[in-house]
């Protein structure tokens, strides 16, 4: 398993709202962050913004998606679903032997409040088809509102982590906790369709009830101290 205390983390699509927020939280936790984008110039600009927010001790750099994936020990994929397969195919060789965390949700505008799963069953299972067995694959962070990620506020929404092995899920849960969130081992990658589908329901809650960051929490199970 990768030692996440030493690894660099690439956040691909890191110039988007979700990716930028996750990069902020993980950089604040002390990780070296590589912001990836189809536009390296935009990635460099966002890296500069985050460094200004975090202070001179932060290690945040910008690069292309491919370069960021090559340089990092762990890759977090936060691209829109429309760019999901193309991005995966472009980084396939660069992520060989690494942990990839897929945050993608298969939202299909304009009906983003309707659960619409791809033929593979979920975006994460689609990633498995593209990347094959050469990576350790997990899915997480789908239900966290970007409204709160780029703040220091406590986020009252749990994170379901699914993955291809117990070891993969344990590694990603470490990231979840470092980001100041409560995570749960939600089992095999096939269960990713539940977390991905929940996103459409939460978007519907936001629209129906005039909220901006609806979330969910697991009840009836002993929570970790401080969670």
Least confident of 95-109, 120-134, 138-152, 210-224: 210-224
What residues are paired with 10 via a beta bridge?
A: 34, 75
Q: Is the predicted pLDDT of residue 70 greater than 70, yes or no?
A: yes
Examine the pLDDT at 2 and tell me if it is beyond 90: no
CB contact set of 87 (below 8 Å; sequence gap of 6+): 12, 13, 65, 77, 79
What region does 40 belong to: left with phi over 0, alpha with psi -120 to 50, or beta? alpha
Domain boundaries, the chain: 8-209
Distance CA(117)–CA(105), nearest Å, equals 9
Q: What is the 3-state secondary structure (H, E, C) of 141-194?
A: CCCCCHHHHCCCCCCCCCEEEEECCHHHHHHHHHHHHHCCCCEEEEEEHHHHHH
Q: In whole angstroms, give the CA distance from residue 104 to residue 125.
A: 11
Could you tell me the pLDDT band of residue 146, with boundaries at 50, 70 and 90? confident
To the question of pTM greater than 0.75 for the whole model, the response is yes
H/E stretch holding 9: strand 8-12
Q: Tell me: the pLDDT tens digits for 89-132? A: 999 999 999 999 999 999 989 999 999 999 999 999 999 999 99
Q: Of 141, 56, 65, 137, which is closest to residue 96 (Cα–Cα)?
A: 137
| Residue 76: strand pairing partners | 11, 101
Q: Among the CATH numbers 3.50.50.60, 3.30.70.100, 3.30.9.10, 3.40.50.720, which is that of 8-209? A: 3.40.50.720
Please tell me the total number of residues recorded for the chain in this structure. Answer: 227
Residue 225 pLDDT > 90: no
């Amino acid at each position: 398993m990768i030692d996440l205390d030493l690894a660099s983390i690439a956040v691909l699509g890191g110039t988007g709202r979700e990716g930028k927020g996750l990069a902020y939280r993980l950089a604040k936790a002390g990780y070296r962050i590589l912001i990836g984008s189809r536009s390296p110039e935009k990635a460099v600009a966002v890296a500069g913004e985050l460094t200004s927010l975090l202070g001179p001790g932060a290690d945040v750099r910008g690069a292309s998606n491919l370069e960021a994936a090559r340089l990092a020990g762990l890759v977090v994929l936060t691209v829109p679903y429309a760019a999901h397969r193309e991005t995966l195919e472009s980084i396939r060789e660069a992520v060989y032997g690494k942990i990839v965390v897929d945050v993608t949700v298969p939202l299909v505008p304009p009906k983003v409040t309707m659960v619409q799963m791809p033929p593979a069953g979920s975006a994460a299972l689609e990633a498995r088809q593209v990347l094959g067995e050469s990576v350790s694959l997990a899915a997480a962070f789908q239900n966290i509102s970007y409204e709160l990620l780029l703040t220091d506020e406590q986020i009252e929404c749990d994170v379901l982590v699914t993955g291809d092995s117990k070891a993969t899920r344990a590694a990603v849960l470490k990231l979840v906790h470092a980001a100041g969130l409560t995570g749960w081992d939600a089992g095999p990658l096939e269960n990713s369709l539940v977390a991905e589908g929940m996103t459409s329901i939460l978007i519907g809650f936001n629209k129906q009830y005039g909220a901006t960051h609806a979330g969910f929490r697991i009840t009836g199970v002993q929570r970790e101290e401080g969670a």
